[in-house]
Amino acid sequence: MLKFSLVVPYRNRDVEVAKRCISSLINQSIFQNNNIPVEAEIFFIDYGSDIEKSSELEKFCQETDLITYIYTETRGKFWCKPEALNLALNKATGDYFITIDVDMIHLPNFLEEISHYVEQNTLLHYQCYYLPSNFDYTNYLNTLQNTDVTSLDESSKTSALGIFAVKTSELKHIGGFDEYFRMWGIEDKDIHYRLSRNLDVKWFPLEKSPVFHQWHPVSNNPLAQPKGWEKTVIDHYHNKYDKPELLIHKKTNGEKSGKLYKREERPALHIFENGNLKSNFNFEFPIEKAYSSFISQFMKLEKNEPLILNQSFSLIDENATSKAAKGVRKINTLLEKVKVSYRMTELLKHTYGNIDFYQVRDFLFYFIVDFEDFIEDYYYEQENGTNGNPEKITLILFKK
């Protein structure tokens, strides 16, 4: 009998969106009709969501024996979709591996229909239709089965490279998903390229069983990810064209891909949860010297000795209501009257060498990426100030 392994990677997304995705999978016709020669296992991989969300989703998944809910304790680590997918790949027992985005809804006949199109030497992609923001999810599975899809926008093939069905053995043969891609990456394009080198690429006829994408707000904040990271991952991807032997980012620290993290293996998380966050390092001006000092202090760490950063990076916000802010506004007004080009906040930054939040955040991100083979564990968190902008960084590091 043909068997599928489905995987849904997740972290801190809208819980109701995730529940609708899960419900559409457990309501597949293959689970209702024993005459359909198809079976499936479903992995919901929770990559370190906040406890409130993870508890609710774990309870929801436990209402059926069709879902294997796996929580990997990665709180405080950067989002890495490939690692979540590899975790499921390590446990997969199906003939074919199917990737599912958590904001998708599949009609009940999806697995039954796609079973007719999967083949040994084929990479089978599928597209989706975009639901509008005002879609009514009341009794949505029945509603969607009768929806006129011609009124909906269809995803492009380029945007659908990350959702596919492929022989599980083929995916394992190429080493799984490349875990270099984290936060924002082009892991979808990467896995498509590496699989399509040896497989025929085909597209599932969407009219057989339409798939629907649930509307959600899109983040277009250019500061949401480290400066230059987009170019870095694109360069990493294109290196595989120039160096065919470099098919995947290999860790040199002995860890296999798709690691399942346990709470007892996270000393940095333990310190954060205990609230013992007294800094033993702070970034000071000049910033270049601080970078060097940070690396030096990390490399000198003894086993079980943490490096703790718990620092705010902000000047007085002249738009705030504090006495200090009112004072800054008065001084700025005076400076404008005497036609001084600098404002008070700019003078403070120039005179005292203000350390910029984004400078430090980006440095720490690239440090963690470049020094991952030396890091036993880390916990990273950033907080917003009263003006809604990020201004505080907490980082706990342990060296191997």
Q: How far apart are CA 16 and CA 22, in angstroms?
A: 10
According to the model, what pLDDT value does residue 341 have?
Answer: 47
Residue 317 has pLDDT above 80, yes or no: no
Count of CB atoms within 10 A of residue 263's CB? 11
Strand 96-99 relative to strand 2-10, pairing: parallel
- Name the phi and psi angles at 312, rounded to 5: -100, 145
Residue 378 lies in a domain: yes
**Residue 290 and residue 335 in one domain:** no
Residue 117 lies in a domain: yes
**Residue 292 and residue 344 in one domain:** no
According to the model, what pLDDT value does residue 285 have?
Answer: 84
Strand 129-130 relative to strand 153-154, pairing: antiparallel
Residue 385 has pLDDT above 90, yes or no: no
Q: How far apart are CA 215 and CA 153, in angstroms?
A: 12
- How confident is the model over 352-374, as a mean pLDDT? 88
| Of 72 and 350, more confident | 72
**Residue 19 and residue 79 in one domain:** yes
According to the model, what pLDDT value does residue 340 have?
Answer: 47
- How confident is the model over 195-223, as a mean pLDDT? 90
Residue 253 lies in a domain: no
Residue 256 lies in a domain: no
According to the model, what pLDDT value does residue 221 have?
Answer: 66
According to the model, what pLDDT value does residue 318 have?
Answer: 43
pLDDT band for position 344 (cuts 50, 70, 90): very low
Tokens standing for 82? 């490939």
Residue 275 lies in a domain: yes
pLDDT band for position 65 (cuts 50, 70, 90): very high
Decide: 166 and 199 in contact? Cβ < 8 Å. yes
**Residue 38 and residue 86 in one domain:** yes
Q: How far apart are CA 70 and CA 83, in angstroms?
A: 13
Residue 365 has pLDDT above 80, yes or no: yes
Residue 382 lies in a domain: yes
Residue 138 lies in a domain: yes
Residue 247 lies in a domain: no
Residue 194 has pLDDT above 50, yes or no: yes
Tokens standing for 352? 């005292």
According to the model, what pLDDT value does residue 324 have?
Answer: 47
Q: What angle do CA 379, 185, 57 make, to 5 degrees?
A: 60
Residue 33 has pLDDT above 60, yes or no: yes
Count of CB atoms within 10 A of residue 293's CB? 14
**Residue 387 and residue 337 in one domain:** no
Mean pLDDT of the chain: 88
Residue 252 has pLDDT above 50, yes or no: no
For the chain, how many structural domains are there in total? 3
**Residue 347 and residue 365 in one domain:** no
**Residue 87 and residue 216 in one domain:** yes
**Residue 138 and residue 89 in one domain:** yes
> Helix, strand or coil for residue 70?
strand
**Residue 359 and residue 346 in one domain:** no
Residue 204 has pLDDT above 90, yes or no: yes
Domain that holds residue 342: 323-352
**Residue 43 and residue 182 in one domain:** yes
Query: How does pLDDT run across 3-22, given as a tens digit for each residue?
Result: 999 999 999 999 999 999 99
Burial class (CB within 10 angstroms; exposed 0-12, middle 13-18, buried 19+) of 281: middle
According to the model, what pLDDT value does residue 339 have?
Answer: 52
**Residue 210 and residue 348 in one domain:** no
CATH number at residue 167: 3.90.550.10
According to the model, what pLDDT value does residue 246 have?
Answer: 52
Q: Is 189 left (phi over 0), alpha (psi -120 to 50) or beta?
A: alpha
- With tokens 């209402």, the residue in question is 63
Among 32-41, 74-83, 195-204, 249-258, which stretch is predicted with the lowest mean pLDDT? Answer: 249-258
pTM metric for this prediction: 0.88
According to the model, what pLDDT value does residue 332 have?
Answer: 54
* Identity of residue 260: L
Residue 138 has pLDDT above 90, yes or no: yes
**Residue 79 and residue 196 in one domain:** yes
Sign of dihedral through CA atoms 248, 194, 90, 7?
positive
- With tokens 């999967």, the residue in question is 118
| Of 255 and 238, more confident | 238
Longest dimension (CA), the chain: 86
- How confident is the model over 35-56, as a mean pLDDT? 97
- With tokens 């703790």, the residue in question is 308
